[in-house]
Amino acid sequence: MKKENTKKEKRLRRHKRGRAKISGISNKPRISVFISNRHIYVQVIDDQKGKTIANISDLNIKEKDKKLNLSKEMGLALAKELKKLKIEKAVFDRGGFKYHGRVKNIAEGLREGGIKF
């Protein structure tokens, strides 16, 4: 009898497939998104050095709003932080999540903030 894959296993398989194709370097880091049931986390990672350059979560945003609106604010705030670090370009890693809803809003916020990917 064939075992059915859970949602998490499917997402991890998609994430692994995506990570095989993308990686970040110091002048063009990887922006990694993770969404739990309660919170949203975004990290900017330099894969060559194995270091996190910047990060943000919805816990850092003081104004509580709907999750879709929070994700857009997070993208704008992260873009502002990356501008301070003189980073203009990045690679977007959606973490196996569908590019829609909160993930899409984070990407749009980053683009509005002036980050290109």
Q: Which of 32-46, 54-68, 96-110 has the lowest mean pLDDT?
A: 54-68
Residue 113 has pLDDT above 80, yes or no: yes
Domains and CATH numbers, the chain: 7-112 (3.30.420.100)
Burial 101-110 (b: 16+ CB within 10 A, else e): ebbbbbbebb
Per-residue pLDDT of 41-92, as tens digits, reads 999 999 999 999 999 999 888 777 888 889 999 999 999 999 999 999 999 9
Average pLDDT, the chain: 91
CA 7, CA 112: separation in Å to the nearest integer? 31
- pLDDT score for 72: 93
114: left (phi over 0), alpha (psi -120 to 50) or beta: left
DSSP assignments along 32-100, one per residue: EEEE-SS-EEEEEEETTTTEEEEEEETTT--S---HHHHHHHHHHHHHHHHHHTT--B-EEE-TTS-SS
Distance of CA 26 to the CA centre of its chain: 17
Q: Is pTM beyond 0.95 here?
A: no
* pLDDT at residue 2, rounded to an integer: 66
Q: Give the pLDDT of residue 92.
A: 95
Please state the φ and ψ torsions of residue 14, each to the nearest 5 degrees: -65, -40
